[in-house]
Structure 1
Amino acid sequence: MASALEDPVLIRPFRGHGAAVTGVGFSASAAELATSSLDRCLMIWKLKKQCRAYKFVGHSDAVTSVNFSPEGQLLASASQDRTVRLWIPCIHGESSVLKGHTASVRSVSFSHDGHLLVSASNDKSVKIWSVQRRRLLFSLFQHTHWVRCAKFSPDGRLIASCSEDKSVKIWDTVNKTCIDSFIDYEGFPNFADFNPSGTCIASAGSNHTVKLWDIRMNKLLQHYKVHRAEVNCVSFHPSGNYLITASTDGTLKILDLLEGRLIYTLHGHKGPVLSVAFSKGGEKFASGGADGQVLLWKTNFDSFDYKEVLKHHFRRIQTDDPPHLLDIYPRSPHLHDEKLQSVEVNPTFDVADTLTVDPPVVEISSSPSFGTLDDVSNEDLQYPSASVLATSSKRKSENESESAMHNVDKEIGLSPSLGNALENIVEQLDVLTLTISILEQRLTLTEDKLKECLENQQKILPQGRQEE
């Protein structure tokens, strides 16, 4: 059993959302934490003490997912309003809306080079977007039910998606085809993600289980049943040796994948835990719950130089044939139950910081879309000082925004009628994008039916010849 000094510790809670927290994600430096919520907002928390929090308002419905770009210069969010937004995390609230899905968007995630974005939706599709051009590149259709989650592999060549059709699918981003599928007949996966080396996938199940799949050998490696309710989210420690899980039973569990056992059970949320994520270096992790709280934890049990780990993982994802010397194979598939000895951490009795009050929240409304990434200066990405923010108000920000837009129109020489015409054109383009998306889906279904007919015809023809 681990000693007290090695156990995870709750650093502090953050309160600011008005509803359940659906997603959490750290910036590359681990200095900021982004969260999404059913309250239609996303927030950025500066993790230094006595710093303000920033609430970004723009989505018209619940925000279901949030993700920092690898460099931390952009923030992506997904919403039940059927859109994906790209934000510049600054006080101007600049965002760009990506439209293409025809139903609620459940997740959004950057590729590891930051050039692409993948989204999963209740319209049964997975869509890949260009970050710089802010446009849809292509869609993937094969799921037969709502797609809950989609993630890029570390090298960006593969995408893993999970759906309520009870499958986890692996996609080739070059050929745009499904190359493998893992079926879970006991329940559907709520969440799926690659391990840091890109050789395994972990799925969080509605049937209270967590499963690890080897994507090269196409087999189940580990199967954990340590929760008493559905598992909503998982996150790999950057070392790949640990996995943290979040469940509707109100707990977080930390699994040691090398030993194949549960090592920690963490309490703190009052109700279901919906999201969890390690920081890029693994020294912290955060969890979000239905209670509207964000809990920040210190990992403690494994510290290392993340850059060194990335070097090892880079060597692991090369195209040479397996087995790879640096790959760590977990033990043979076996079921784990709750009777194994593990450490219970209840922060009610031992919280590192009980005195720090919740940070003041600055609400930022979305402003018109920004240009390409080449137009974004480093200065725009910096947060303002507290003294500057103290003199600003929501009304002042709105007035400045309107004034700025008026000045821009004046400098360009746009008449009101021309401005209205351009707005109408943009609206028509949005409608056209949605129409194309629907046509893509129908075309895919038609191709599947045609393929099925041809296969049936090939089976019937030999039978007819034998009868003759």
Structure 2
Amino acid sequence: MIRLEPETEEEPVDSRSLVPLWPGMVLRERYHILRILGRGGSGAVYEASDLHEGERRVAIKEIVAFHLEPRVAAETMAAFYSEASLLATLRHPSLPEVYEYFTEQDCCYLVMEFIQGETLEERLLRSQDGRLPLAEALEIAIQLCTVLEYLHSRPVPIIFRDLKPANIMLDSVAGRVCLIDFGIARRFKPGQSRDTLALGSPGYAAPEQYGRAQSTPQADIYGLGATLHQMLTGVDPSEAPLRFASLRSFDPSLPPELDELVARMVEISPQKRPASAAEVRRQLDLIRLQLPRDQRTSSRRPSQQPPPTRGKRRRQVAQLSSAAPSAAAASPAPTLPRRLLLFAGPFLLGAVVGLLGARELDLPLISASSSLQTPTVFARTPAANLLSLPRVSVRLALSYRGHQAPVRAVAFSSDGQYLASGDLAHAVHVWEPLSGELLLHYDDHHAAITSLAWLPGTSVLASSSEDGTVQVWDVAQQRRLLVYRGHRGAVRAVKGSAVGVFASGGVDGSVQVWDASTGVRSLLLLDRSRAPINALSWSPATTSLASADEQGNVLLWDTSSAALSGHQTILDVVSGQPVALLALAWSPDGSQLAGAGADGQVVLISLQGSAFLGGQVVSSSPCTALAWSPDSRLLLTASGNQATIWLASMTAYSPLYTYEEQEGNVAAVDWALNGGLLASTGGKSVRVWSVSSSG
């Protein structure tokens, strides 16, 4: 989302107004305009609903050039396409995702991720004296360092050149800090003596941006220093460019090390500034660690209750307070409005007969078409059979709060001795799940962690990242074994096999199998679609590998022959269009494969003949993660800010326990193979749960 100027109430004077789109209009027969977020001299920014993607919220940046003279119009259009094409190549949690860009009726449009929240400029305006608490300022600066590290480490480094509070979004839902408006970002050109154009915002722009020299990553470090100085002093640097008083002259309680670091960041000479954003991040981390424990945590938190998707009611759940752990079992949730889509023919008749007289428990059951075998429709558990359901007791054992950024992945080692967690700031922590003792920490990746996987029966851990690599570590020996670089682009999934190999999949559409000790690739698996891979799962027998991609395809690979042995396309429960699966999990007994859908459904595929059993909507939010119990009877799912344990089988699909996370969305879950522990994420925290079931 990009903010330009506050919205006004002026109406357009004619059809060629600088704001040709108004709420209620539909752009390109797809984007329903909801409101105008801001206006500028060359266009506007809108919030819209994407009618082709389940009314997903998007931000649309519009550039209008018809009112400009030809030369200026050409320059404006060229700058737009430069920004759009640059953003489209970038993948980082602190950058808005670009969905598409196009030209229509002499206007250019950039459609991107909508970020709910406020700019840092707005945050400073409503703060006391224009300052932020030290912990909050450090958190924002550290997150900015991670995205600058990513930009500066591209094969051709990208210099943002306009780092200031107005171009920094604070995501109120996910807790992210995002850079917006890449209008003047540029690629570093070796050998060029100075920038072609002098661009930047006075006070925040480094001196070399005014034509004295070519902008380097140190220009962004200057902008970050100016912004950090403003957050801690309340002084707008544009009022006195290039002049920064000591931080401690405003607040003597600020750490001297921080005062010295900020002074170095805003040095006139680029050579006197810190060498990289990574160096700045490390020093900020050290400064934060030296603070008293009660001053290390920012009061800025993601929103507790994200707004429900329009047209769908939120399911009421049993809540467990993390502040007071206790054993509990959730009651059956109230019934929601039924949306039952069944197959025609005898299956429809059989389903109707099976459901007559039976009270449905809560959520709608929806089956999708199969390219393998005709599906069997799930049956609900009648109220008369509720007493036969397993009883689940869950107790909070530990809350781990060692991460400084939202946690995206968790994984228990096969013996339950270790629990690994990875976050958006590319840090991986390995710790003892019951004591919380940190055993290993590394942040050698250059972008967010996407998944974690252990090699079964060993202390070998793999972490995949949006930086395009997979790192393999021996936790017991505290050393890195190798870095796998076989993918082009972000690696979204990695899974370990008991035969000593890892499988990885990424945005390049490939699934690669490689040796865990040498990194030598043995298999390259490609489907014709070459769609980005979201998830992987090995069969317990380790001869079959399942993959799921962005186009809704679930592929079963025979790794002994490198042949495709099965294919299933998952369909959206409302539109009937293919929907991506975000996670896969093979049941420990090898009989079923579960998938988590971006449309909120959980699907089950039987591996006894590869029949597709069907899918059930479990949430109005995307289902992001899942894990099986060791006995293959129960399924743990994550969706929105909820983690739910389900009875999942061919004949019953019922919720047994639901926990509602208060610190953010549940991005990842795992179930230890010994059956006694669960793990779930919530913002920057990881919860460890003691679980038992009977019946």
Q: Please, which of 10, 29, 45 is the counterpart of residue 431 of structure 2? A: 45
Q: Deviations for 1:306-357, whole angstroms, at most 9, x for unmatched residues?
A: xxxxxxxxxxxxxxxxxxxxxxxxxxxxxxxxxxxxxxxxxxxxxxxxxxxx
Structure 1 segments (4+ residues) deviating >6 Å: none
Deviation per CA, 1:145-168: give whole Å up to 9, x if none: 210011211111110000001111
Displacement, 1:228? 2.1
1:15–1:240 Cα change, 3 Å: same
Q: Which amino acid aligns with 2:534?
A: R
Match of 1:199 among 591, 605, 608: 591
> Is 1:134 the counterpart of 2:519 in the alignment?
yes
> How big is the shift at 1:51?
3.0
Deviations 1:96-138 (A, max 9, x none): 111110010001110133x110001010110000113321112
Aligned to 1:349: none
Match of 1:275 in 2: 668
Distance 1:211 1:151, change over 3 A: same
Q: CA deviation at 1:222?
A: 4.2
- Compute the displacement of 1:3 (Å): 6.8
Output the CA distance in 2 between the equivalents of 1:76 and 1:302: 34
The within-5 A match list for 1:52-131 is 52-90=438-476, 92-113=478-499, 115-131=500-516
Q: 2:631 aligns with which of 239, 263, 266?
A: 239
Match of 1:265 in 2: 658
1:302 CA displacement: 5.0
**Structure 2 CA distance for partners of 1:191 and 1:47, relative to 1, 3 Å:** closer
1:59-116 deviation line (CA, Å, top 9, x unaligned): 1111111112212321111111111111011574333111110010001110133x11
CA contact (8 A) 1:283 1:300 kept: yes
CA distance in 2, matches of 1:222, 1:166: 14
**Alpha-carbon spacing, 1:194–1:50, altered in 2? closer, same or farther (3 Å):** closer
**Distance in 1 (alpha carbons) for counterparts of 2:625 and 2:436:** 30
Distance between the aligned counterparts of 1:196 and 1:18, measured in 2? 33
Pairwise mapping of residues 273-352 of structure 1 onto structure 2 (< 5 A)? 273-289=666-682, 291-302=683-694
Corresponding position of 1:220 = 612
- The Cα of 1:244 is off from its aligned counterpart by 0.4
SS of 2:620's equivalent? coil
Q: 1:3 to 1:222 in 2, by over 3 A?
A: farther
Specify the code of the residue in structure 2 equivalent to 1:51: E
Q: Aligned match of 1:176 in 557, 562, 585?
A: 562
Q: In the aligned structure 1, how far is the partner of 2:653 from the partner of 2:566?
A: 25
Unmatched tracts of structure 2, length 5 or more:
1-317, 319-326, 330-390, 573-578
Match of 2:643 in 1: 252
Equivalent residue number for residue 117 of structure 2: none
How far apart, in 1, do the equivalents of 2:555 and 2:668 lie? 21
1:166 to 542, 548, 552: 552
Conserved in 1, the CA contact under 8 Å of 2:599 and 2:620? Answer: no
d(CA) in 1 for partners of 2:534 and 2:453?
15
Return the alpha-carbon distance in structure 2 between the equivalents of residues 229 and 297 of structure 1: 23
CA distance in 2, matches of 1:132, 1:103: 23
Distance 1:74 1:246 in 2: 26
Which whole-Å CA distance do the structure 1 matches of 2:571 and 2:455 have between them? 34
Q: Are the equivalent residues in 2 in contact too, given 1:168–1:192 (CA < 8 A)?
A: no
Instruction: State the 1:204 CA deviation.
Output: 0.3
Task: Mark the runs of 5 or more structure 1 residues left unpaired by the alignment.
Answer: 304-468
Deviations 1:207-235 (A, max 9, x none): 10001011333333242212120000110
The superposition leaves residues 250-269 of structure 1 with CA deviations (integer Å, 9 ceiling, x where unpaired) of 00111112442111111224
CA contact (8 A) 1:116 1:129 kept: yes
1:342 matched residue in structure 2: none
* C-alpha distance in structure 2 between counterparts of 1:42 and 1:181, whole Å: 34
Question: Which structure: larger Rg?
Answer: 2
Cα pair 2:604 2:614 within 8 Å, conserved: yes
Please tell me the residue identity of whatever aligns with 1:287: S
SS in 2 for 1:287: strand
Paired AA for residue 193 in structure 1:
A
In structure 1, the partner of 2:47 is none
Residue by residue over 1:249-302, the C-alpha shift from the partner in whole angstroms, topping out at 9 and shown as x without a partner, is: 20011111244211111122422211111001111010123x111110111225
Q: What's 1:146 paired with?
A: 532
Matched to 1:225, the amino acid is V
- The 3 A distance-change label for structure 1 pair 12 and 48 is closer
Taking a change above 3 Å as real, the CA distance of residues 85 and 52 of structure 1, as seen in their structure-2 partners, is: closer
Q: Could you tell me which amino acid in structure 2 is paired with residue 151 of structure 1?
A: S
Mean Cα deviation higher: 115-124 or 2-11 = 2-11
Judged with a 3 Å threshold, the aligned counterparts in structure 2 of structure 1 residues 92 and 9 are, in CA distance, closer, same or farther, namely closer
Secondary structure, counterpart of 2:547 in structure 1: strand
Is structure 2 residue 598 aligned with structure 1 residue 210?
A: no
Q: How far did 1:185 drift? A: 2.1
CA 183–6 in structure 1, closer or farther in 2 if over 3 Å, else same? closer
| Identity across the alignment (%) | 25
TM-score of the pair, normalised by structure 2: 0.42
